[in-house]
Amino acid sequence: MNGILYYRAEEAERNAGFIRLMQQAADRTGTGLRLAVNAEEIPEDADFILFRDRDPELARMLERAGHRLFNRAEVNRIANDKYATFELGALLGLPVVPTRRVAHPDEMNVFPAVLKTVDGHGGTEVVRCLDKMDAGWFFSRHAGRKIIEQPFIESGAADVRLFMIGEEAAGAVKRTGSTGFKSNYTLGGRADPYLPSAGMTAAAAKIARALKSDYIGVDFLLLPDGGFLLNEIEDPVGSRSLYDTSGINIAELIMERIQEQMK
């Protein structure tokens, strides 16, 4: 069995460590896994594609060409659209961060509020607004982009990410921001091992089941009363925080999933 590990060139460079782990895991199972950094490098006879890009249209094109993607294109679409993620969580009856689309600061009446581009990632296109002036700055900086508004929810700058292989939680981390309200590990936040509640694990499994996903991250905000709210779904999800806080080799689990599904 021969597969392709697909990244954009700049992301491949940034994720060299994970690529090496995936290729080592593939070697141990006798699976060929070759890196490709543009669609033209993907051979027609590739048995599968481990798709590590945020590009639902390319994912759909590859599926139409007959390729089996891990994750499939619809997972990529929903996970990279924060409003679609909100709609899915609400449809499934899960506790979600209230979310609405906004096109102008004049549509906002309650502050503080959080504004996000629907397709941003890594916490770089997220801002807490104290008034319409703050909101105006965000809209002007992201002119032409789709933007959502959420209420600011006090969570101690912390959230929990569950790493899901199929419908099973492979591990979880609690991420705590070092400054401000963002908890993203890539922005300098801290990550610690975390044992999620049964309710949180069941909610993540419900999402994975609905999406028919292979490997995603599911992020929850922690509430002061011990509850949680679905915040985002990540595809592709980075796993450095999990490696840094546990002995879990997620690359091995991903390869096991691929082999199981390809049978």
Range scoring the smallest mean pLDDT among 35-44, 100-109, 145-154, 183-192: 183-192
**Inside any domain, residue 212:** yes
| CATH label of the domain that carries residue 127 | 3.30.1490
* Nearest CA among 241, 229, 240, 234 for reference residue 200: 229
48-72 per-position pLDDT tens digit: 999 999 999 999 999 999 999 999 9
pTM: 0.92
113 and 211 together in one domain: no
144-159 per-position pLDDT tens digit: 999 999 999 987 778 9
Which of 118, 151, 184 marks a domain boundary? 151
- Domain housing 53: 2-77
Helices (H), the chain: 9-14, 16-28, 56-64, 73-79, 82-91, 132-141, 198-211, 240-245, 250-262
**Inside any domain, residue 84:** no
**Inside any domain, residue 141:** yes
The percent of residues in the chain predicted with pLDDT above 90, rounded, is 87
**Inside any domain, residue 185:** yes
175 and 234 together in one domain: yes
Whole-number pLDDT of residue 221: 94
Per-residue pLDDT for 226 more than 90?
A: no
In sequence order, the 6+-apart residues with CB closer than 8 A to the CB of 151 are 97, 98, 110, 113, 114
257 and 168 together in one domain: yes
Location of structure tokens 């699976």: 31
116-150 per-position pLDDT tens digit: 999 998 888 999 999 999 999 999 999 999 999 99
In sequence order, the 6+-apart residues with CB closer than 8 A to the CB of 57 are none
* Nearest CA among 44, 38, 50 for reference residue 75: 50
Whole-number pLDDT of residue 181: 54
Both tokens assigned to 219 = 């992020």
Which value, in Å, is the radius of gyration of the alpha carbons in the chain? 19
Whole-number pLDDT of residue 134: 94
159 and 69 together in one domain: no
Whole-number pLDDT of residue 188: 59
pLDDT band at 184 (very low <50, low <70, confident <90, very high): low
| Structural domains of the chain, count | 3
